[in-house]
Amino acid sequence: MVVATALLVVLSRTAAENLFTRRNETPTMPLHRSHADMVSALIIVLTALAGAAVWSHLPAEIAIHFSASGTPDNHVSKPVGVALLPALMVGTLLILKGAFRYDPPDTPRVAATITVATIAFMGAIHGLVLAWNLGYPVPFDLALVGSLVWAVFVIGYAVRAEYVHG
């Protein structure tokens, strides 16, 4: 419920304009609900629903951070563990929208791609955390390599689009 309410705020044009518009300043990129916003919102909702769907099977304390060897080194209560990453995803979406509004890329598709890729990445991390807490073996070494590959591709895409082909 909290995530759904937060999403309404994210997608609300008036609330977002109030959040990102400084007094006497005209933003350089119009704020509107794009396909990237809708896809990002869908990913956030699905991430929150995944946590709700497995709620009864999760332990009372959820591991949310792991060492390089895959050993959990930080635990939180179940409500925090299920809601934390979807809430951070909403915050990340707001920050990205604000950043791209005031410093828009030369190619608008770059902002959409980075936004959706970042939100999808966060959703995937939440899925891995839930899976580990449900007792499934999660290869954290592969997850770490996957994270680095994701970062290289997203940064490479942005640099290529902005500086090589821009």
* pLDDT, tens digit only, all 166 positions of the chain: 445 444 444 444 444 444 444 444 444 444 556 788 999 999 999 999 999 999 999 999 999 998 877 889 999 999 999 999 999 999 999 999 999 988 888 888 899 999 999 999 999 999 999 999 999 998 888 888 999 999 999 999 988 888 876 5
- 143 touches 124 (CB < 8 A): no
Contact 92/122 with Cβ under 8 angstroms? yes
Nearest CA to 35 out of 24, 23, 43 is that of: 43
- The number of domains in the chain is 1
Half-sphere exposure of residue 158: CA atoms within 13 angstroms, side-chain side? 16
What is the per-residue burial (b if ≥16 Cβ within 10 Å, else e) of 20-39? Answer: beeeeeeeebebeebebbee
pTM over 0.75: yes
Spatial separation of the C-alpha atoms in residues 113 and 133, rounded to whole Å: 30
What the block records as the tokens of 92 is: 């990340």
Please name every residue paired with 66 in a beta bridge, in sequence order, or none if there are none: 72
For residue 57 the two structure tokens come to 């099977």
Domain ranges, residue 13: 2-164
Task: Tell me how far apart the alpha carbons of residues 10 and 39 are, in angstroms, rounded to a whole number.
Answer: 13
